[in-house]
Structure 1
């Protein structure tokens, strides 16, 4: 197949690599919500809605928690925000981060210039306050689109990367990773990047990093360049992430498999079965053509050094980022944290692929908010769990500990390092529940509820539906709410229910489920990231990929009611330009600014964009957002949303 970068990732995520016969979330959900107990493929009923806590027609109207006039569904070349709000560009690909940063010149890009500029395809956004009007902004740069980045290339995967040079690959590597930049707020409530910020730094696919935790030094992470197995160069495909309570930045490595070469030699690799479970090597980039690290035939273990959560001490720009192996190795969508009632830290994580799993990590030690340094290695010791759902509304968190249950040497797990390097295989062995692409997972510190974004799963068959995954051929996704007992996030049990089943409720064949108060613009499809604002309200961002034409609307931000009689009511707040994905919603500490990331404008599904109907390229994009200047390509950007006249967002 010849695919654009987005299509390659979508295809990989849509192609399950889980061969286990573990039960699916869809079949569990269906049993829970079916009146007859077991009715595979049945639709959710009014009774099911009541069980889930959704309102039904006939309930009394009530006050909404979100006070703004929603915008409408649609798709065009620019962004849109609710009336009474400003949506200003804060940072664009190529913008200066340091006093000596060169001006952005898209026709003459170099590795040296990109290392001093804001990277490409901004995804996760995290904010660490320094004062009321100064903060550190942390932004992931997930991947690159060479057909939109560089002149004269088109889609290189179709051409076997014939036109990619080593110099261009080095630019791509420099555009990956993350940006740490200080931002300041002026008297009008608008933020700007401070190029003189002492904490400013770029983290790339070549930045030296340290491996820590149980898999550090393991034979399976040792390479020719690093025989000790403790030093890694770079981080890649950083999707969502997290900020710890002590102010460090967690970068989650997701589709690392796509960067490695050697598909033709996969069966001869000593870890062929494990690599296939992770979909590696994908060979989506030309990196393996010039860098032997990314060729499994030349460096068999390098692939095992990616797929982790990376912790960065942003307050020390000279610090070495650390890959925390205790949190497991899989396609991490994010790593959101909450301090448990007993002081331990809990990290919730989704493995973003069809039929993969939901995880959490509970630290052994407790968070010390009086001594930041005491938390330095907190993430190196603790227990990683994977979720198993039942049709009575229960969740069991199963520990992935060597020697317990099937996780033994007899089954291929010689030690805890093996369990963590092959987390997916260990979770298969435990019988974890297969999910519909678990992405961002966010705990609400005010209510204790946990929200799991299940983006979609068009490959789920009618005999594979279950409770949390209630639809076959699920193109639109759903949101699952977890309720830990007595707000104890470290507990090994929890309850689950469906918050919404996404898609257009006006189309009977979609089988969507929303509160009856949701308007024609309040529904959404493919929930991806989420955030909880300072008032405890939930906001959702979406990623339909090239399938946006199925819903007929671009991705965006929706406010979503989670409590009371309006539970399950959506409200549209922001919309991205054609071909873009909505990422990274993040509120300032006072709730007066919402930062969002607009990723890969002009890329996804542009063949379905009426009047354009072809693939985009550097010279001929579907939109030139946000600059709209001839010769300037579309630029992934961070947008800051503020209320005209000041005040909290959505109030």
Structure 2
């Protein structure tokens, strides 16, 4: 992928003005959290004057750093393993046996490498925290950890490949809190469902029916099949689940040099070499035989968990790229705004605004809100402002002269459109969520080791960035439909004291983190950050929490630590903030089925490590974080 230059050639001179202005305000006593510099790549411990650390709302005892085979939580809390790869989701499903894996068994079992978690209350429309539907993404498989003998992805037999395919997609399962405080799967629930790469789906929105979507399996560009590569997601105010298709390029192979989509595929990372076995056994994923199939993935899929017979919809109005997820916010005027990051180095941040309006008492009308509206990409300036640029056919460079002949083309070639509009290339934008208390938007920027000194800019302040940062965006007057926001950096991650990091000056030796990935907010508006890549910095991945305003802003505290080789994904609170669901993905990663780094969560010699969902509660009950 071509590297893109900084969006601001005069960045350093503007930065100097911002530093001077902030120092003046501090001297007048007018600093505070809202004036923290967002474009500064210096160590905050020396740049900010110490403040008195108040008690705050995050009073849990901080967990120490470490790296071991176990999952650990803050003292006074407990973690229950709720469901693991291979566990039954339906009655009369055979018990998991790693030596007896079949496609039919896997279709009735919890899938592999759980990522995003969504919890919606039962019954529909309630805010119950003791009964609901758990919806979990299964992003990808680690075949060397799944099968005896630790086969490589390319060495899988056809039957193993079919198990692998069946382990992708999503699981929907009803769960209920028992009298003893433990959660339990409800196996006979009519809501339970597996959604896989074979599940019938529909394309909707501006790209639906485009000739570019016609394949051997979709003769109308509307009917489609399945979802995979599902990373993060979101829960809509009307109770549906959004799941983002991310690194889908690796599922395909075959020479596409003669395809009309060659430019698109190269921009998306497609390669003629096979990187997994799907296309070796199924022509659907072989671009020599089915060249348009990759255009059917890279979307946000909307799923109605309350209707197990419903057909999932691929909402093309939200664009095609490597969606980390999509999170929906209802603006003050009842327009629906959805934020999404394109999770790859030097890719972009996006916003969608619906044409229609959210109707609190008309769920049926809300189910089509994501089909029509305007998609925007983000351009940041060094002075702390940012602009949302509309991706609309016929406007600016999005014309036939540049290869766009309809709005469908814009949605199908989002990355190219954003390139032409001059969006700011980011350091892997992953989860993007709105703080329900303040209305500010937070972006997890995981890392970007390829950024050079010449490409450093405001929201991406470091070259060879291996630890990431958290970006905060503020809509003027709380209007998420405004064309211009303000931005600043909440924190710049990395080891405490390391040059370029930015935290609260009172951060402890265990409070620093690396590679922010997913996030969640509790009912008080505190930010909970999950990481993917901290192990490269010598510590386990996990969860850290911080307040975002007041004297404890950016004072991150470690709350949870994953087993060795795992990342922590999908943190999600029940409405009462007394239960925190978390995905522990690829425990033992980097080892093998036969000789794993850990055998978490079973610690049985006849079982490999298993990706699992855990639920964290406070001993004796109460709000998580207190």
**Is the structural similarity TM-score above 0.5?**
yes
| 105, 114, 121: which one aligns with 2:113 | 121
Distance in 1, matches of 2:478 and 2:274, equals 44
**Residues 316-331 of structure 1: matches in 2 within 5 Å?**
316-331=307-322
TM-score (ref. length: structure 2): 0.93
Q: 1:391 to 1:170 in 2, by over 3 A?
A: same
Structure 1 position 224, deviation (Å): 2.1
Deviation at 1:266, TM superposition (A): 3.6
- 3-state SS, counterpart of residue 182 of structure 1: strand
Residue 100 (structure 1) shift: 2.3
Distance of 1:120 and 1:428 partners within structure 2 = 35
Secondary structure of the residue that 2:486 maps to in structure 1?
strand
Question: 1:272 aligned to 2:262?
Answer: yes
Q: Matched residue of 2:263: which SS?
A: helix
Alpha-carbon separation, structure 1, partners of 2:597 and 2:277: 25
Q: Given that residues 190 and 642 in structure 1 are in contact (C-alpha distance below 8 angstroms), is that contact kept between their aligned partners in structure 2? A: no
2:622 maps to 1:631: no
Tell me the equivalent position of 1:645.
Answer: 620
Partner in structure 1 of residue 61 of structure 2: 69
> How far 1:80 sits from its partner (Å)?
0.6
Specify the SS of the correspondent of 2:617: strand
Q: Distance in 2 between matches of 1:64 and 1:521?
A: 18
User: Is residue 357 of structure 2 the alignment partner of residue 372 of structure 1?
Assistant: no
Match of 1:13 in 2: none
Query: Structure 2: how far apart are the matches of 1:496 and 1:576?
Result: 31
Structure 2 counterpart of 1:171, from 163, 170, 176: 163
* Distance in 2 separating the partners of 1:460 and 1:572: 28
Q: Judge conservation of contact 2:208–2:221 (CA < 8 Å) in 1.
A: yes
Taking a change above 3 Å as real, the CA distance of residues 74 and 24 of structure 1, as seen in their structure-2 partners, is: farther
Deviation digits for residues 61-94 of structure 1 (CA, Å, limit 9, x no counterpart): 3222201001111100011100000011001001
Cα offset, 1:155, TM superposition? 2.7
Partner Cα separation in structure 2 for residue 352 and residue 619 of structure 1 = 32
Residue 589 in structure 1 maps to residue 575 in structure 2: yes
TM-score by length of 1: 0.90
Q: Report the counterpart of residue 446 of structure 1 in structure 2.
A: 437
Which of 530, 537, 542 is equivalent to 1:556? 542
Match of 2:505 in 1: 516
- CA distance in structure 2 between the aligned counterparts of 1:28 and 1:365, rounded to whole angstroms: 40
Q: Evaluate the alpha carbon distance shift between residue 123 and residue 31 of structure 1 in structure 2; reply closer, same or farther with a 3 A threshold.
A: farther
Could you say if the C-alpha distance between residues 599 and 440 of structure 1 is closer, same or farther in structure 2, counting changes exceeding 3 Å? same
Whether 1:336 and 2:322 are equivalent positions in the alignment is: no
Partner of 1:86: 78
1:242/1:334 contact within 8 Å kept: yes
Q: 2:380 aligns with which of 367, 373, 389?
A: 389
Gaps of 5+ in 1: 1-16, 39-44, 605-615
Preserved contact between residue 137 and residue 230 of structure 2 (Cα < 8 Å): yes
Alignment partners' CA distance in 2, 1:621 and 1:542:
22
Alpha-carbon shift at residue 210 of structure 1 (Å): 0.5
3-state DSSP of counterpart to 2:509 = coil
Please list the CA deviations of residues 255-282 of structure 1 after superposition, one character each: whole Å capped at 9, or x if unmatched.
01110011xx243332211111000136
Question: Which stretch of structure 1 is more off in the superposition, 51-60 or 187-196?
Answer: 51-60
The answer to whether the 8 A contact 2:4-2:455 is kept is no
Give the match for residue 52 of structure 1: 37
SS at match of 2:354: strand
Relative to structure 1, the CA distance from residue 507 to residue 393 in structure 2 (aligned partners, 3 Å threshold; closer, same or farther) is closer
Whether the aligned pair in 2 keeps the contact of 1:28 and 1:465 (CA below 8 Å) is: no
Deviation for aligned residue 1:571: 0.3
Contact 1:531 1:540 in 2 (8 A): yes
SS across alignment from 2:257: helix
Q: Secondary structure of 1:620's match?
A: coil
Alignment of 1:249-328 (within 5 A): 249-262=241-254, 265-281=255-271, 283-328=274-319
Q: Distance in 2 between matches of 1:242 and 1:470?
A: 28
Q: Secondary structure at the match of 2:576?
A: coil
Q: Provide the secondary structure at the position in 2 that maps to 1:89.
A: strand
In structure 1, what is the Cα distance between the partners aligned to 2:77 and 2:100?
A: 36
CA pair 524-221 structure 1, distance change in 2 beyond 3 A: same
Q: 1:567 to 1:32 in 2, by over 3 A?
A: farther
Query: 1:425-449 deviations in whole A, cap 9, x for unaligned?
Result: 1111101000000000010121011
Query: In the superposition, relative to structure 1, how do residues 368 and 31 fare at CA in structure 2: closer, same or farther (>3 Å)?
Result: farther
Does structure 2 retain, via aligned residues, the 8 Å contact 1:22–1:428?
no
Are residues 409 and 597 of structure 1, via their aligned partners in 2, closer, same or farther at CA, if it must alter by over 3 Å? same
SS in 1 for 2:551: helix
How far apart are the structure 1 equivalents of 2:558 and 2:64? 7
- The answer on whether the counterparts of 2:437 and 2:523 sit within 8 Å (CA) in structure 1 is no
Shift of 1:198: 1.4
CA displacement, residues 364-406 of structure 1 (integer Å, 9 cap, x when unaligned): 1111121211112111001100000011111100010100000
- In the aligned structure 2, how far is the partner of 1:227 from the partner of 1:514? 54
The question of 1:436 aligning with 2:447 is answered no
CA 1:36–1:558 in structure 2 vs 1: closer, same or farther (change >3 Å)? closer
Match of 2:517 in 1: 528
Output the CA distance in 2 between the equivalents of 1:135 and 1:186. 13
**Distance of aligned partners of 1:31 and 1:210 in 2 relative to their CA distance in 1, 3 Å threshold:** farther
Q: How far is the alpha carbon of 1:507 from its aligned partner?
A: 3.0
What does residue 575 of structure 1 align with?
A: 561
Measured in 1, the distance between the counterparts of 2:419 and 2:223 equals 29
Inter-partner Cα distance in structure 2 for 1:226 and 1:146: 29
Alpha-carbon distance change, 596 to 333 in structure 1, aligned in 2, over 3 angstroms: same
2:145 to 141, 144, 148: 148
Equivalent pair of 2:447/2:515 in contact (CA under 8 Å): yes
1:624 positional shift: 0.6
Q: Does structure 1 retain, via aligned residues, the 8 Å contact 2:140–2:229?
A: yes
Is it true that 1:598 corresponds to 2:584 in the alignment? yes
Between the aligned partners of 2:420 and 2:61, the Cα distance in structure 1 is: 49
The Cα of 1:565 is off from its aligned counterpart by 1.9
Correspondent of 2:172 among 173, 180, 199? 180
Using the TM superposition, give the Cα deviation of residue 21 of structure 1 relative to its aligned residue in structure 2, in angstroms.
Answer: 4.2
Structure 1 residue 506 displacement after superposition: 2.5
In the alignment, the residues of structure 1 paired with residue 139 and residue 14 of structure 2 have an alpha-carbon distance, to the nearest angstrom, of 37
